[in-house]
Amino acid sequence: MKWKVSCIQMTIAFGQPEANYAKAEEMIRLAAAANACERGNGNSSLDRETGESCASLFLLPELWTTGYDLPRLSVIADPEGDQTIAFLSSLARTYQTTVIGGSYARLTANGIYNSMPFIDRDGRLLGHYDKLHLFGLMNEPSYLKPGSHKGLFQLDGIVSAGVICYDIRFPEWIRAHVLAGAEVLFVAAEWPDVRLEHWRALLIARAIENQCYVIACNRAGIDPDNRFAGHSLIIDPWGEVIAEAGLDEEVLTAIIDLNRVKEARSRIPVFKDRRPDCYTKS
């Protein structure tokens, strides 16, 4: 099975949801039009090398509706996510593409969550993930509530997982998803340029140690306090970077072959050789 995955590495208008909806729609529309030029039967793109069909998928960055305008989230966050989910579901149906909705500020009666929605080609919400690890250096705990559940979902029968930015610094959290069956890890981020090498090294390590695909979408541009790194990445289960964006706004696209996951895991049986009985001993 193959997927054509696209990271929507967009600039984000600080604290301006409507401008960001328009930007996301424009970039997805242009990317979908490019994909349409390569479609075969049905709604799948074609792998130019093999001629095989591959389902398309878009991934957005973290907090793409608002940026890190955290003090104003109580005003600009999306109540229960209704507007954002309706917007992304419409795009999924229009372009017959899966949308991993990066993340957005979801206002609930219990507080505001940094939430990643998973939406299939028919516009159905498959589930969502709330960012578990809040980043103190950007004052997230003062404005956001932490999540408490894994970001697991199924797509075309493939168990996948979504996490957000700071989560990639916690290998035990990523491993928990892979032990639950995940073969593809989607990462949405607003990672700053000053720590670009950490971004690359951590993502490559997560791919290698978990023998999974890592599809990571970072934002581009600046806000009042940060310059962001861009450099969205698509990494195969051997840790090979098969596509990497630059610093500026762009759509990064590559075709991934899910059979590569089983190949890596059979050739080096990391999970078979684990010794979890020893890992908590002093």
Place of tokens 């894994």: 150
Which pairs with CB-CB distance under 8 Å and at least 24 residues apart come from 33-38? 34/251, 34/253, 35/4, 35/6, 35/97
As a whole number of angstroms, the distance between CA 215 and CA 234 comes to 5
Specify the DSSP class assigned to residue 205. Answer: H
Asked if 165 is an active-site residue, the reply is yes
Tell me the sheet residues that pair with 53.
Answer: 46
Asked if 272 is an active-site residue, the reply is no
Q: Provide Rg for the chain, Cα atoms.
A: 18
Q: What are phi and psi of 272, to 5 degrees?
A: -65, -35
Tell me the sheet residues that pair with 79.
Answer: 107
Q: Indicate which residue of 54, 131, 190, 212 is catalytic.
A: 131
Q: What are phi and psi of 3, to 5 degrees?
A: -125, 140
The CA-based angle 83-87-92, given to 5 degrees, is 145
Asked if 7 is an active-site residue, the reply is no
How many C-beta atoms lie closer than 10 Å to residue 146's C-beta?
14
Place of tokens 């797509």: 155
Q: Do residues 54 and 3 lie in contact, with contact meaning Cβ atoms separated by under 8 Å?
A: yes
Q: Indicate which residue of 2, 54, 62, 217 is catalytic.
A: 62
Q: At residue 280, what is the residue type?
A: T
As a whole number of angstroms, the distance between CA 98 and CA 88 comes to 9
**Catalytic residue annotation:** 62, 131, 165
